[in-house]
Amino acid sequence: MDFDFTWVLLGFPIAFTLGWLASRLDLRQLRIENRQAPKAYFRGLNFLLNEQQDQAIDAFIEAVQNDPDTSELHFALGNLFRRRGEYERAVRVHEHLMSRGDLTQTERDRAQHALALDFLKAGLLDRAEVALRKLEGTTYEEEARLARLSIYERSRDWAHATEIAGKLDSASHGSFSGRQAHYLCEQAQAACASGDTAQALDTLQQAVKLAPASPRPLIDLAKLQSQLGRHQDAFETLLKLEKTAPQALPLAAGLLGNLAQQGGQQQKAVDLLQASYANMPSIDVVEAIIKIDTQPGEPRDRYVQHLEREASLVAAAKWLAGEKFGDDHQRALVQRALDKATKPLMRYRCAACGFEATQHFWHCPGCQAWDSYPARRIEEL
C-alpha cells in the first residue's frame, strides 16, 4: 500500500501548534508561581514585622512550597519555629538544609549554627555541644565557644569550661582570667570534697596567680589554710585583700578576726578593718572589730558610732540586744520584732537579676552571672 504524505504535511503544523501552546502554558504557570512566591514571602515578612508569628509561619511555609530551593526561606522559617518554641520543627528545617548538596560552605556553616541554637534552646545540651564543636574554624567560632562555655557552666563541667575560657582569652576576645579563676576555685572545692586537700591548695594558688585582683581565690585559699591549721598563712593571705580587692574585705572580716585571735594579732587586724570601714561602712566589719577590739571601753559603742554614720536598723537591733531594761518581757518582745524586721535586710542581692540570698554567691543561682553580688548586704546598698 502506498504511503500518503498528505498526513505528514498536515501533522507538522498541528504538532508545532500544540508544542507552542504547551510552552506558553508552561511559561504562564512559571510566571504565576514566581509571582506567588515573592508575594507569600513579603506577606510573611509583613506578618513578622507586625509580630503575628503564626500567620508569618503559614506564609513562609507557602513560600517554601512554591520555591523549595531558596535557602533564605528555610532559614527564616527555622528561626521562626525556634522563636515560637517549636524546636522539633526548627530542627527538621535546619537538618533538611544540612542534607542538601547545593549549599555553599557559608550557608552550611550558618545552618550548622542554627541547628546548634535549636538544640541549645530545647535544652538538649549534649547534642548542642556536638553541633557547636563542628563550628570550630568557621566564622561562628567565637559564638560557638561562648555557647559551649555556657553549657559547661550549667553542667558544672569546670575542666572543659577552663579550657574554652583559655581559648577565648588567647584569641583576644576580652579577658576571661576572672572566669578561669572561678572555675579553678570550683575545681578546688570538688577536690576538698573528695579529700584531696593538696590538689585543692595547688589549684587555688594557680587561681591567685591567674587573677591576682580577684578576691575569691584569696578568700577560698585562706579558708582552706585555716581548716588545715595553717592560721598564720591564712592570716597573711587575707591581708593581701587590702591591696588587691579591698571592696571584698567585709566578706572575710569574720574569718580575719578569728585568725587574728588565734595568732595574737588583734591590733593589726583592727587597724586593717578600721581602714576598710572608713572607706566602706559595713555591719560585718563592725562586728568583726567588736569581736577582737583590744581598746578599753564598751565594744557595743561601735554600733552607736555606726548609727551616727548610717541609719541602720540592723545596728540598732544589735545594740538593743545588749541593753538592760526594767521589764525583760517587753524588751524581749521588742527584740523579737526587730530581729524579724532586720532578717531580710541581712541578705545579699544580685545586681544583675535581683535574686536575694542569705549567703554571698560568686555565681548567681538565678541568672548565672559571675561576681554580680556586692560584698555589702541589702541594707547597706
Complete DSSP assignment for 235-264: HHHHHTHHHH-GGGHHHHHHHHHHHHHHHT
Q: Is 271 helix (H, G, I), strand (E, B) or coil?
A: helix
Grid cell 588567647 in the structure block, residue? 170
Q: What's the pLDDT at 37?
A: 47
Q: What's the pLDDT at 62?
A: 55
Q: What's the pLDDT at 48?
A: 47
The answer to whether 64 and 70 are in contact (CB under 8 A) is: yes
Q: What's the pLDDT at 34?
A: 47
Q: Hey, what's the cell of 153? A: 557552666
Q: Exposed, middle or buried, 128 (CB in 10 Å: 0-12/13-18/19+)?
A: buried
- The pTM of this model reads 0.76
- Give how far Cα 315 sits from Cα of 144, 187, 301, 330, 378, Å: 49, 37, 11, 20, 13
In the chain, which ranges are E strands?
A: 348-349, 356-357
Q: What is the mean pLDDT of each run of 10 residues along the chain (381 residues)?
A: 51 54 47 49 52 58 54 75 84 80 84 92 92 92 92 92 89 81 94 92 94 93 93 93 90 92 88 89 89 73 85 84 73 84 90 92 90 90 78
Which stretches of 50-102 are DSSP H helices?
Answer: 53-66, 71-83, 87-99
How far is residue 249's CA from residue 377's CA, in Å, rounded to a whole number? 13
Residue type at position 9: L
How far is residue 381's CA from residue 374's CA, in Å, rounded to a whole number? 8
- What is the bridge-based pairing of β-strands 356-357 and 348-349? antiparallel
Q: What's the pLDDT at 334?
A: 82
- Give how far Cα 9 sits from Cα of 14, 110, 113, Å: 9, 59, 63
Q: What's the pLDDT at 10?
A: 53
Q: Exposed, middle or buried, 134 (CB in 10 Å: 0-12/13-18/19+)?
A: middle
Q: Hey, what's the cell of 363? A: 555565681
Nearest to 156 by CA among 127, 177, 125: 125
Q: What's the pLDDT at 50?
A: 56
Q: Hey, what's the cell of 172? A: 583576644
- Write the CATH number of the domain with boundaries 213-295: 1.25.40
- Give how far Cα 35 sits from Cα of 47, 64, 173, 187, 332, Å: 19, 13, 46, 61, 84
How far is residue 219's CA from residue 8's CA, in Å, rounded to a whole number? 102
Q: What are phi and psi of 181, to 5 degrees?
A: -65, -40
- Burial pattern 71-102, b for ≥16 Cβ within 10 A else e, equals bebbbbbbbbbbeeebbebbbebbeebeeeee
How far is residue 362's CA from residue 366's CA, in Å, rounded to a whole number? 12
How far is residue 72's CA from residue 273's CA, in Å, rounded to a whole number? 63
